[in-house]
């Protein structure tokens, strides 16, 4: 069975309830769209469930829509369950209208009955069922109501398909003849398993993918005829859409009783503040401030605990266990593996807390308001409100942020956002910042730290404007976004969101970072076993002339190089290279060998430096383009060194 539905209808909640933790998350072949599968088994019924991406329609406007319809047409699930939101049935039934024009039997699950109830909407499922001619199951997934009935309906329908007689929508009358003419022309050439009436309808809607497909299949002459008809009826998409909405109107007329107007809902009251051009910004600033405050005040102590009791303890354990073996092996395991990938583990608390709060804000419906309020600022960079969420996730970790760019509809917008994500200071960069600023700047440390974060955001804005101008010709994609109703958070949905985002980070940490930290360890240990004379130090010395321009010693340059594995490595590397041992020791050593100007330039470069290896891999995975990935690395290299040199020279002159 396949689960279809528009965004924000609680489809994931239904999926999570059905499959629990049996779900398997991957990508649709060749696409960067998540594919979720799972199994429901209870009382001898076992159902394999595929969660289709949330889409408003089935026309080829986005990768999600193509995936959803290709799955239904080509992989032929036994049943498609269409999850719809009871509180906005009209718009939701539009997708059902599209689903019904395919061959696969459909069951309609009317979710969020409680929300409709609160709004005073009266829905009669039996009437709707009679009108649609397909089974209708009322549900409130957040309260676990209706799940069993849904499974029973699926089971019943698959057993006895003969009773399935849906009343399908028709195109508006003035275009009916054209549709027939089209179908007559193409019917003989439509490839299996596409239904020919559906293909004609999609042609009339101007669906790019189906157009291309039929252009390949049809004889030249016929295609020209078809093309002529389509050109003549360019507005047919409206006739098709109107036809569907007429149908929706007929379906809901009897089954839906609306309350009187003038009722002010909770959402309207909250939105007066949350989407106001001025108050909305203040609300956003307040909420984000709270997110940071909670993340760091709760996360930092936990991070310290993990470091002491897990990383250092296991390093000691490994060291004593390997005491009899060769010293390089001890070094490899303790410094290379535990030191590198282990450091990553200490980010668990901070990331989980951050993702939990982001997940909560998303689930209650606030994040789309944040995007709305930020739209006018995103505008300046040729982006729009939808880019705000991925960019903001970047304050946690760039990896899920890069993956989060999938919500943006246009490729140009997605690419541009991806290019900008590394400029958002992630938690790891903030850790380095928080460690170094107090050493050099005393009471002014918070000011310096915030200015550096501000510098990053400024560079981000400028880079956005410039890249958009040069690469995309200043183009801007359409901003169309649904603002869902606010609702009570669903803890399971948030939990799964945290789990998936953290997992994305740890998968990278577990593979890429591990490999690269071992390689880096090799470079720092070979050929002599002493880091001072290692290949890595050699590379650092080679870069020393460049470093001198920024006031950076070769040790600092090496620290930057190692931060490519993971940003927080910079501190550890400095500790090793300056022979300081612990962090406290490093805090004492640093001021004696570094001027504040050099420290400032080091921080500037570190904040703007190339992203860590995990992020680079993610950027490649999402963009599927070496050119863009390489461009991002080179661009940031140039920007960070350029601004670093500038800051150092100016700071020197000033002091």
Partner 1 sequence: MRKTGVVIAASGGAYSGRRGSARGWRLRWGSSRRAVAPEHEELANTVRKGGGYDLVEVGYEGGRRPSIASAVEAVIRRGAERVVVVPTGKLNSGVAEVVGRLEQRHRGVEIVHVQEPADTTGRADWMIRKVREHDPDHVQTEAYFGIGRLAGLGTGETAVVHDFDAGHTLLSRLSALGFTPGAEVTMLQNYGHGPVIVGVRNTRIALGRGEAARIRVRQTACGE
Residue placing its CB nearer to partner 1 in the complex, 241 or 646: 241
Residue placing its CB nearer to partner 1 in the complex, 267 or 524: 267
- Binding interface with partner 1 (CB under 8 A): 56-57, 59, 61, 87-91, 94, 205-206, 234, 237-238, 241-242, 245, 267-268, 271, 275, 277, 368, 371-372, 375-376, 379, 384-385, 476, 478-485
Asked whether 621 and 512 are in contact (CB, 8 A), the reply is no
Which residues are CB-contacts of 488 (< 8 A; sequence separation ≥ 6)?
142, 364
Residue placing its CB nearer to partner 1 in the complex, 49 or 239: 239
In the structure encoding, which two tokens stand for residue 505, read together? 């980070």
CA dist 157 and 161 (Å) reads 6
Residue placing its CB nearer to partner 1 in the complex, 109 or 248: 248
Residue placing its CB nearer to partner 1 in the complex, 268 or 312: 268
Quick check: helix, strand or coil at residue 77?
coil
CA dist 271 and 366 (Å) reads 10
Shortest Å distance, C-beta 149 to partner 1: 25
Shortest Å distance, C-beta 423 to partner 1: 24
Asked whether 316 and 481 are in contact (CB, 8 A), the reply is no
Beta bridge partners of 46: 41
24: phi then psi, degrees, rounded to nearest 5:
-125, 125
482: phi then psi, degrees, rounded to nearest 5:
-80, 140
The DSSP call for residue 145 is B
CA dist 416 and 600 (Å) reads 29
The continuous run of DSSP H or E covering 595 comes out as none
Residue placing its CB nearer to partner 1 in the complex, 200 or 606: 200
CA dist 12 and 33 (Å) reads 15
Beta bridge partners of 137: 109
Residue placing its CB nearer to partner 1 in the complex, 267 or 569: 267
Residue placing its CB nearer to partner 1 in the complex, 92 or 629: 92
CA dist 371 and 390 (Å) reads 10
Shortest Å distance, C-beta 471 to partner 1: 20
Shortest Å distance, C-beta 376 to partner 1: 4
Shortest Å distance, C-beta 486 to partner 1: 11
Residue placing its CB nearer to partner 1 in the complex, 56 or 648: 56
Quick check: helix, strand or coil at residue 212?
helix
Shortest Å distance, C-beta 101 to partner 1: 14
Shortest Å distance, C-beta 511 to partner 1: 38
End-to-end CA distance of the chain: 70
Q: According to DSSP H, which parts of 26-169 are helical?
A: 63-74, 89-100, 113-118, 125-132, 147-159
Residue placing its CB nearer to partner 1 in the complex, 153 or 239: 239
Shortest Å distance, C-beta 409 to partner 1: 8
Shortest Å distance, C-beta 121 to partner 1: 9
Quick check: helix, strand or coil at residue 111?
strand
Residue placing its CB nearer to partner 1 in the complex, 126 or 482: 482
Beta bridge partners of 122: 257
Strand order in the sheet with 34-42: 24-27, 34-42, 45-51, 2-5, 80-85, 106-111, 136-138
Report the 3 state secondary structure along 27-43.
ECCCCCCEEEEEEEEEC
Orientation angle between helical segments 220-232 and 196-204, nearest 10 degrees: 50
Shortest Å distance, C-beta 306 to partner 1: 41
CA dist 615 and 635 (Å) reads 15
Residue placing its CB nearer to partner 1 in the complex, 91 or 189: 91
Residue placing its CB nearer to partner 1 in the complex, 221 or 235: 235
CA dist 412 and 401 (Å) reads 17
Unique residue bearing structure tokens 């953290």: 502
Shortest Å distance, C-beta 220 to partner 1: 24
Shortest Å distance, C-beta 235 to partner 1: 8
Shortest Å distance, C-beta 182 to partner 1: 17
From the CB of residue 87, how many other CB atoms can be counted at a distance below 10 Å? 22
């Amino acid at each position: 069975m396949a689960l279809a539905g528009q965004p924000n209808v609680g489809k994931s909640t239904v999926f999570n309830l059905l499959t629990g933790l049996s779900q398997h998350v991957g990508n649709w072949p060749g696409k960067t769209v998540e594919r979720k599968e799972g199994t429901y088994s209870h009382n001898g019924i076992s159902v394999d469930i595929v969660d289709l991406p949330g889409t408003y329609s089935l026309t080829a406007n986005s990768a999600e829509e193509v995936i959803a319809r290709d799955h239904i047409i080509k992989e032929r699930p036994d049943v498609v369950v269409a999850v719809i939101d009871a509180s906005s049935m009209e718009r939701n039934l539009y997708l059902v209208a599209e689903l019904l024009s395919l061959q696969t039997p459909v069951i309609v699950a009317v979710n969020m009955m409680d929300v409709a109830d609160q709004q005073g909407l009266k829905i009669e499922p039996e009437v709707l069922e009679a009108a649609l001619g397909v089974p209708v199951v009322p549900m409130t997934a957040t309260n676990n109501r209706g799940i069993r009935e849904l499974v029973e309906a699926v089971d019943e329908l698959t057993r006895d398909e003969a009773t399935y007689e849906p009343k399908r929508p028709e195109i508006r009358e003035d275009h009916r003849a054209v549709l027939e003419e089209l179908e007559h022309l193409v019917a003989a050439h439509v490839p299996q398993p596409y239904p020919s009436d559906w293909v004609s309808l999609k042609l009339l809607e101007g669906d790019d993918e189906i157009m291309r497909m039929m252009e390949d299949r049809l004889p030249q002459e016929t295609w020209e005829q078809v093309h002529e008809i389509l050109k003549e009826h360019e507005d047919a998409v409206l006739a098709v859409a109107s036809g569907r909405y007429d149908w929706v109107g007929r379906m809901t007329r009897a089954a839906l009783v609306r309350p009187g107007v003038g009722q002010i809902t909770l959402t309207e009251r909250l939105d007066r503040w949350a989407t106001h051009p001025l108050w909305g910004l203040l609300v956003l600033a307040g909420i984000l401030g709270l997110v940071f405050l909670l993340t760091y005040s709760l996360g930092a102590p936990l991070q310290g605990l993990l470091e002491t009791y897990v990383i250092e303890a296991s390093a000691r354990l490994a060291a004593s266990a390997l005491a009899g073996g060769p010293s390089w092996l001890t070094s490899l395991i303790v410094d290379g593996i535990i030191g590198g990938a282990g450091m990553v583990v200490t980010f668990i608390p901070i990331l989980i807390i951050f993702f939990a709060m982001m997940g909560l804000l998303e689930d209650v419906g606030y994040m789309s308001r944040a995007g709305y309020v930020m739209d006018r600022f995103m505008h300046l960079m040729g982006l729009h409100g939808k880019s705000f969420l991925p960019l903001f996730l970047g304050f946690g970790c760039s990896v899920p942020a890069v993956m989060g760019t999938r919500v943006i509809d246009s490729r140009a917008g997605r690419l541009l956002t991806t290019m900008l994500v590394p400029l958002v200071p992630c938690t790891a960069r903030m850790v380095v910042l928080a460690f170094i600023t107090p050493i050099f700047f005393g009471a002014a440390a918070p000011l310096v730290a915030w200015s550096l974060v501000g510098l990053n955001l400024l560079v981000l804005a400028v880079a956005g404007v410039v890249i958009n101008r040069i690469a995309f010709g200043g183009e801007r994609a359409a901003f169309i976004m649904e603002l869902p109703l606010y609702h009570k958070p669903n803890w399971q949905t948030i939990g799964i969101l945290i789990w998936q985002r953290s997992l994305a980070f740890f998968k990278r940490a577990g593979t890429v970072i591990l490999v690269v930290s071992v390689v880096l360890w090799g470079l720092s240990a070979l050929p002599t076993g002493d880091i001072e004379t290692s290949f890595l130090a050699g590379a650092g010395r080679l870069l020393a002339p460049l470093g001198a321009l920024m006031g950076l010693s070769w040790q600092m340059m090496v620290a930057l190089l190692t931060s490519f594995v993971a940003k927080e490595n910079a501190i550890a590397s400095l500790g090793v290279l300056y022979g300081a041992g612990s962090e406290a020791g490093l805090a004492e050593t640093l001021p004696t060998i570094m001027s504040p100007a050099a420290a400032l330039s080091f921080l500037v470069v570190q904040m703007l430096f190339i992203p860590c290896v995990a992020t680079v891999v993610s950027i490649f995975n999402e963009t599927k383009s070496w050119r863009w990935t390489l461009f991002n690395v080179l661009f940031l290299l140039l920007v960070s060194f350029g601004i670093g040199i500038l800051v150092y020279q100016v700071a020197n002159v000033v002091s």
